[in-house]
Amino acid sequence: MLSYLFVVIILGGLIAVHELGHLLVAKLCRIPIAEFSIGFGPKLIGRRWGETTYRISAVPLGGYVLPALDEQGFRERPATRRILFALGGPFANVVAAFAGLLALGVVEFGLSAVNAAVFATTQLWTSLQQLAFALSTLFVDPSQISGIVGIVAIGGAQFGSTAAGLLSFSVLINLNLAVLNLLPLPPLDGGRILFCLLEKVYRPLARMQTPVTLLGWAFVLALMVYATIQDVGRIATGMFA
């Protein structure tokens, strides 16, 4: 059971890394942030520094960065800054994945710093290619989709028994968070970037962002329910063992 707890902690931490990436880029781009939360739901602890309230919430597997602007005010920010803000989270996950691969190279394989950097770069590129191919197959066979339940089950069973395994798991999850969030589907980061580009082509298209985002949320929630049902079925039949 301890291995599953480690997996949950790592998963929550990597989501926090993603949100922290958004926060840091927002600060650099001078986008005011009202609230930064690790987790969702009721506040456990929180403190305000400057214009931003930092909080830890009750549900650990999630988080958000809330700009101190309404939708119209946010859209009035330069498109370049909004795109950078959206890229901040995926970029943070890629950097964290690279750091994890560096650590694996040095600690697990005894590589020098230079060789570890080469190893990390090569593995990062190979893993991104494999992940892109795996994503393309999901459209053909959606039964392979897994949600949070499946990720924890797989992580605990296959990666959670050793430090090297947990490090490999963190690399895999970081890359998944980066790539999945860059899909051009609102409300994901890739969807926000898509609308920033579309409004450059034809500005009235920006008005469609809110209704399309609501539809996107409905699709994502339905997909999460479907994935959870799939995961529970796999656990019941011992497929994750």
Instruction: Determine the Cα–Cα distance for residues 156 and 165; give it in Å rounded to an integer.
Output: 10
Q: What are phi and psi of 67, to 5 degrees?
A: -65, 150
- The answer to whether the CB of 186 falls within 8 A of the CB of 213 is yes
- The answer to whether the CB of 174 falls within 8 A of the CB of 120 is no
- Beta-carbon contacts of 76 under 8 Å, excluding residues fewer than 6 positions away, are none
3-state SS, residue 66: strand
CA geometry: angle at 170 spanning 155 and 56, to 5°? 95
108 catalytic, yes or no? no
Residue 57: strand pairing partners: 43
Instruction: Determine the Cα–Cα distance for residues 192 and 62; give it in Å rounded to an integer.
Output: 19
Q: How many helices (H) and strands (E) does the chain have?
A: 8, 2
Instruction: Determine the Cα–Cα distance for residues 173 and 62; give it in Å rounded to an integer.
Output: 14
Instruction: Determine the Cα–Cα distance for residues 161 and 33; give it in Å rounded to an integer.
Output: 39
| Active-site annotation holder among 19, 35, 76, 199 | 19
Instruction: Determine the Cα–Cα distance for residues 95 and 174; give it in Å rounded to an integer.
Output: 9
The number of beta carbons lying within 10 Å of the beta carbon of residue 163 is 12
Report, as residue numbers or ranges, the catalytic residues: 19
